[in-house]
Amino acid sequence: MNIILLGPPGAGKGTQAQFLVEERGMVQLSTGDMLRAAKTSGTEMGKRVAEVMDRGELVTDEIVIGLIREKLEQGSEGGFIFDGFPRTLAQADALGALLAETGQTLDHVIELQVNDDVLVDRIVNRAKEAVAAGGTARADDNEESLKIRLMEYYKKTSPLIGYYYAKGALTGVDGLGAIDDVRAEIAGVLG
């Protein structure tokens, strides 16, 4: 089973994807994680990724699609969770083509629906908690970066909601519920 988790930055896609990895043996393809790994790799590509991410912008489709292609070609018995991809209509088309090339299908698109003000508070608090616990916050977990990321999300990614709705693949889930409630709602969608 292959699914997409849609929702703005900080909506809980990564948390919910981890449950699916543990419970269903799926492979999480988090472009954010892949890009953060590339950013710290020291490679030429990593330097390009770092420059773009440090400005709070999104990396090019070419880079993201290349990373996803590598993972799809490796395969997964439990299926894939696309977390943070696709972000644009062009990427949605590219994903459809990639899945077709590898003989796979897209089974569900789940939108984690949230309120922006609550979301900003959630991310800023997540950063404060990480620092208070002796760790470090993600560089982009601050109000200013988040607002830039939200603007990008609404400009580029929100059209995917209509795109997948028209394909009959979209299901909305309350992303602001308790973590276990969101988890149960997603499990209900997937069956």
Catalytic, out of 36, 39, 149, 183? 149
Catalytic residue among 13, 36, 39, 183: 13
C-alpha to C-alpha distances, 102 to 43, 83, 94, 112, 162, nearest whole angstrom: 28, 19, 12, 27, 25
Has 55 been annotated as catalytic?
no
Identify the three-state secondary structure at position 56.
Answer: coil
Identify the active-site residue in 47, 55, 128, 138: 138
Q: Which of 69, 122, 126, 156 is catalytic?
A: 126
- Let me know if 138 is a catalytic residue: yes
Report the sign of the C-alpha dihedral through residues 53, 5, 146, 161, in that order.
positive
CA distance 178 to 153: 23
48 is catalytic: no
Annotated catalytic, 128? Answer: no
Q: What are phi and psi of 31, to 5 degrees?
A: -60, -35
Catalytic sites, residue numbers: 13, 87, 126, 138, 149
